[in-house]
Amino acid sequence: MYSRRGDSGETDTASGKRLKKDDPIIEWEGTLDELIGHIGYSKVQLPWDDIRNDLSEVQMDLFHLGEEILTSGKGRKLREDGVSWMESRIGIYLKEIGEVKLFVVPGGSREAASLQLSRAVTRRAERRLVELNETQKVNPLTLQYLNRLSSLLFMMALASNKRNKIPETIFPWPNPEK
C-alpha cells in the first residue's frame, strides 16, 4: 500500500501533524518499529515457550509505549506493572544462569546472538527516547521500561546459550596486560 504523501520527506503523525521524516519523534518511532521487528525475529529463532511468550508480552508493551509517546498520553499507555514484571522475569532467568560475568561478547548460539541484537537496538531506542524527552517530556516509566528491557534481553541471551550448552565468551576487563 502507498499514498505518495511521504514522497516529499514528510509523514503524518498520530496527533495529525505532518512532520519531516528526520524529526526526533519520527526517528524515535522508526527505532521503536525496528526494535519490535528485531524482537519478532528473535522470537522465531527460539524453541523455548517461556522466552517466546515473554517476547510476545514485550512486543505488545512496546506498541502501547509507542502509542503513549506518539499521542502525548492521549492513547493507550504502557502498563504500570511492566517494569516490575520484567524485573521478576530477569530474576527467574538469573536463577537459571547463575553468576553473570561481564563483558559478554555477543554470539554463541543463533538464539543468543539474535537476542543480543535486539538488546542493542533497545539501547538505541532508549537513547532516542532520552533525546526526545528533551523537547517533549515523556512518562518516566517509559524510560525505565526500555532500560530494564535491555537487561531482560541480555538475561534471555545468556539463558539461550546455557540451554544450548554453549559457554559465553568473556571480554577481559580491565585489561589483564596492565
**What pLDDT, in 10s, does the model give residues 115-148?**
999 999 999 999 999 999 999 899 999 999 999 9
CA dist list (Å): 117 to 7, 144, 153, 168 = 31, 20, 9, 16
Q: Which amino acid is at 26?
A: I
Q: What is the pLDDT of residue 178?
A: 63
The structure's pTM equals 0.90
Partner residues linked to 11 by β-bridges: 19
Residue type, 145: Y
Q: From CA 76, how far away is CA 73, in angstroms rounded? A: 7
> How far is it, in rounded angstroms, from Cα 143 to Cα 5?
32
Residue 33 CB: number of other CB atoms within 10 A?
13
Domains and their CATH numbers in the chain: 20-170 (1.20.1200.10)
Q: Give the cell for residue 149.
A: 528491557
pLDDT score at 110: 97
**Amino acid identity for residue 24 in this structure:** P
pLDDT at 5 over 70: no
CA 92 to chain CA mean position, Å: 19
Amino acid 23: pLDDT: 83
Q: What does DSSP say about strands 169-170 and 104-105: parallel, antiparallel, or unpaired?
A: antiparallel
12-70 pLDDT, tens per residue?
766 677 766 778 888 899 999 999 999 999 999 999 999 999 999 999 999 999 999 88
